[in-house]
């Protein structure tokens, strides 16, 4: 992203949009240390912001691995099993709220391929050394009925799935 891509916002200190994983544009919200000098802070941290976005773009598989290991695939199956069950002879088939029909068990590859970026928040209130990033991901089809998966990435690269939001 470039300096001019960011604008002041009512929710975040600054906000811009970028394309992640060759998908639609997603919002990138920045939480900055001081409400004064927002533009200067964007300039100061632009390299760290872009490095984090580049890492996210390059590490879709690592992010998906973490979500599977943290139980999100199993949770997706639980949510699917709570949807409308359709009459099927040889498989458990369910109709999700978005109208998609899904069979259980859900293959891991199908879950991984369903992940879509909804938004990104980068917290720079503690400076670049303490920067943290939250990813809001959704699935297409919508296994979680309008809820997004929340994943936190710390400055040292450790990730933690915080569950569902929404």
Decide if pLDDT at 34 tops 90.
no
Per-residue pLDDT at 90: 66
Integer Cα distance of 110 and 97 in angstroms: 18
Q: pLDDT of 153-166, one tens digit each? A: 999 999 999 999 98
Report percent pLDDT > 70 for the chain.
99
What pTM does this model have?
Answer: 0.93
Q: What is the DSSP letter of 67?
A: H
62-74 per-position pLDDT tens digit: 999 999 999 999 9
Structure-block tokens of residue 162:
């915080």
Does 88 have pLDDT greater than 80? no
> Which residue pairs, CB below 8 angstroms and at least 24 apart, start in 64-69?
64/111, 64/112, 64/115, 66/151, 66/159, 66/161, 67/115, 67/137, 67/149, 67/151, 67/161, 68/108, 68/111, 68/112
- The torsion of the CA quartet 74, 119, 29, 69, rounded to 10 degrees, works out to 20
């Amino acid at each position: 992203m470039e300096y001019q891509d960011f604008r002041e916002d009512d929710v975040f200190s600054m906000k811009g949009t970028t394309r992640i994983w060759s998908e639609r544009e997603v919002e990138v919200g920045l939480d900055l240390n001081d409400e004064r000098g927002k533009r200067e802070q964007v300039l100061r941290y632009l390299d760290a912001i872009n490095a984090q976005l580049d890492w996210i773009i390059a590490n879709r598989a690592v992010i998906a691995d973490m979500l599977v290991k943290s139980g999100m695939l199993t949770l997706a199956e639980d949510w699917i099993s709570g949807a409308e069950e359709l009459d099927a002879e040889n498989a458990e088939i369910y109709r999700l709220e978005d109208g998609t029909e899904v069979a259980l068990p859900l293959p891991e590859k199908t879950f991984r391929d369903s992940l879509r970026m909804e938004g990104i928040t980068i917290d720079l209130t503690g400076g670049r050394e303490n920067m943290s990033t939250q990813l809001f991901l959704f699935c297409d089809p919508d296994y979680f009925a309008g809820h997004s998966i929340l994943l936190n990435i710390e400055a040292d690269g450790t990730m933690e799935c915080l569950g569902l939001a929404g």
